[in-house]
A = this chain, B = another copy of it.
């Protein structure tokens, strides 16, 4: 049985990706990163519930708190406020982490070698981070070459990004069609209990549900 390493944050995109991998017949190895982001507690809880629902073969939670030490950003530094209602107003929002997907993919490459996976699934979406160089198709191609050159695996590893060209409304629609439990996912950058409804990530999620014509079942503060 083919094996897929799925990078899963606990959010909608990576969750849908993992369900799509399962549908393609892969045995799932789930990988979650803990980098002491504000909502780590909630994301981990969501990740674990999703893994259970999906029936993954194995799961890893890896510490990447080095991200906190690389640079000040609002996701890990609680002294920097999370921007509210500023979606799309800045080239690089303060929630930007330099080369985060580069770090995540290289770790996934190491784990894919260990677990003998044929594919790595990552839920990058160009629309979300249109200014982020590590969210593009070009970057993913380079990452695939980098991993295949540097690992000792006999077969080639492919990096799959089924959602890269999707809009949030298409993600919501497809997820609901595929019976992905979106109520188990988390998007808010700020809170661990009720989603704030105002950060970039909540705004994107709410827009997606609205445009898809569905109601988001998670609880919001406002």
Question: Which of A17-25, A140-148, A187-195 is the contact stretch?
Answer: A140-148
How many identical subunits does the complex contain? 2
Give chain A interface residues in 7-35, CB to chain B under 8 Å: none
**A66 touches B (CB below 8 Å):** yes
In whole angstroms, how far apart are the Cα atoms of A67 and B63 in the complex? 9
**A45 touches B (CB below 8 Å):** no
The one of B66, B133, B151 that contacts A150, using a Cβ cutoff of 8 Å: B133
Let me know if B114 and A150 touch, CB within 8 A.
no
Give the secondary structure class of A's interface.
helix
In whole angstroms, how far apart are the Cα atoms of A150 and B147 in the complex? 14
CB nearest to A150 among chain B residues: B134
> Which bracket fits the contact residues of A?
35 or more
Question: Which of A103-111, A173-181, A198-206, A207-215 is the contact stretch?
Answer: A103-111
Let me know if A138 and B133 touch, CB within 8 A.
no
Give chain A interface residues in 140-180, CB to chain B under 8 Å: 142-143, 145-147, 149-152
What are 19 A-B interface contacts by the 8 Å CB criterion?
Answer: A60-B70, A63-B63, A63-B66, A64-B66, A92-B152, A98-B151, A99-B110, A101-B150, A102-B109, A102-B146, A103-B106, A106-B106, A133-B150, A133-B151, A139-B146, A142-B142, A142-B149, A145-B145, A145-B146
